[in-house]
Amino acid sequence: MSENQELKNKVKKHSDILAKLGTDLAKNQFSYKVEKKKSKDYWVKRITEVEKYNEKGLEYYNEIHAMMNVINEKEAQMFLLRVGKFHQLGSELVEIMKKIKDNPTISDSKDTQKSQWSKDIKNKLTEQSDKCLQFERDTNTLFREFYEKYIKEILE
C-alpha cells in the first residue's frame, strides 16, 4: 500500500470516529447558558450535564488531536494544549457551579440582600461560562482551518 493511501486510510478512520462523536455531541444540544434557578436539584442536574458534556468533548478533541498528529505533529501538539485548556475551563465551571449548588439562593435574582461573596460567585459563573463558550468556538475554528488546509485534500 502506498504512503498516500495509508495516510488517507488513517485520516478516514479518524474522520469516521469524529463524525460519530460529533453526532453524539450535537444530540446532547448542550448550552453553556446558565439559568437563574434556586433549586438545588437544578444545580445537581446541571453539574452532571456539564461534566458529561466535558467528558464527551474531551473525547472529541482528543480524537481531533490524534488525527492532526497523523498529519502535522507540531500543530497537533499545539492543539493538545487546547484540549488541556478545554478540560481546565470545564473543571473550573463545575467548581463554581458546586458552590452555587451548596447555596442555591445565590442565583435568586429577586434577592436584593446579596452578599459580595454571592455577587462574586454569580459573576464568576457568567464569566466562566462565557470563557468556555468562546474557547470552544475558537478551538472549533482552529480545527476547521486545519481541516481546510490539510484534511480536505487528503480525503478527496
Cα 150-60-44 angle, rounded to 5 deg: 155
What's the pTM value of the predicted model, to 2 decimals?
Answer: 0.88
Q: What is the pLDDT of residue 107?
A: 67
Q: How far apart are CA 50 and CA 52, in angstroms?
A: 5
Q: What is the pLDDT of residue 41?
A: 92
The pLDDT tens digits along the chain (156 residues) read 688 889 999 999 999 999 999 999 888 888 898 888 888 899 999 999 999 999 999 999 999 999 999 999 999 999 999 999 999 999 999 999 999 988 887 766 565 556 788 888 888 999 999 999 999 999 999 999 999 999 988 888
Q: How far apart are CA 60 and CA 18, in angstroms?
A: 6
